Structure 1
Amino acid sequence: MGSFSIWHWLIVLAVVLLLFGRGKIPELMGDVAKGIKNFKQGMSEGDEAEADAAKTIDNNPEQPVSSVNVKKTSKS
């Protein structure tokens, strides 16, 4: 009952092929691959943007770290 025989898998495969057709499955896999590629490209662009921002902050001699305005709050 817990395991499927080869006949079960053949029926599932036949139903999938009937629903999607022979040409549709490679299209779907190609779309998935493009999505993964775009996701990786977006992640690497995000890493590059963070690195550029860190370089800009580190190379900014006009505003030393000690001159950052800190708002002091007093307890009443």
Structure 2
Amino acid sequence: MGTFSIWHWLIVLLIVVLVFGTKKLKNIGQDLGGAVKGFKDGMKDGATSEAAPTIPPAGQVTDSASAAEKTTIDVEAKQKG
């Protein structure tokens, strides 16, 4: 059982086409391509937005806040039953 030859891959491809059909495979390919393109565009947008200063969301503590404002909430977990 060595590596697969081109004939093995052609038989597998033929079986996949017979099971799913060409139309469904085309739609899957378009969806996958669109997802990859969207991911790449998102990565490009993320790289450019890192250079711009960001405003932290409301309610988050930043480094400029005083130590008195930073608090930790201690919670004890209880089991049901």
Structure 2 length-normalised TM: 0.54
Seen in structure 2, the aligned counterparts of structure 1 residues 6 and 43 have a Cα distance that, compared at 3 Å, is closer
Task: Give the C-alpha shift of residue 5 in structure 1.
Answer: 4.8
**Mapped partners of 1:35, 1:48: distance in 2:** 20
Match of 2:34 in 1: 34
Q: Would you say how many aligned residue pairs link Structure 1 and Structure 2?
A: 59
Which of 1 and 2 has greater Rg?
Answer: 1
Cα distance between partner residues in 1 of 2:44 and 2:30: 21
2:9 matched residue in structure 1: 9
What are the ranges of 5 or more consecutive residues in structure 2 without an aligned counterpart?
55-63, 68-81
Greater helix proportion:
1
Sequence identity (%): 46
Corresponding residue for 1:24? 24
What is the TM-score normalised by the length of structure 1? 0.56
Give, in whole Å, the separation in 2 of the partners of 1:32 and 1:18.
20
Mark the CA change 1:5 to 1:44 in structure 2 (over 3 Å): closer, same or farther.
Answer: closer
Pick closer, same or farther for the CA change 1:7–1:40 going to 2, 3 Å: closer
Question: Could you say if the C-alpha distance between residues 50 and 18 of structure 1 is closer, same or farther in structure 2, counting changes exceeding 3 Å?
Answer: same
Query: Partner residue of 2:45?
Result: 45
CA distance in 1, matches of 2:3, 2:18: 24
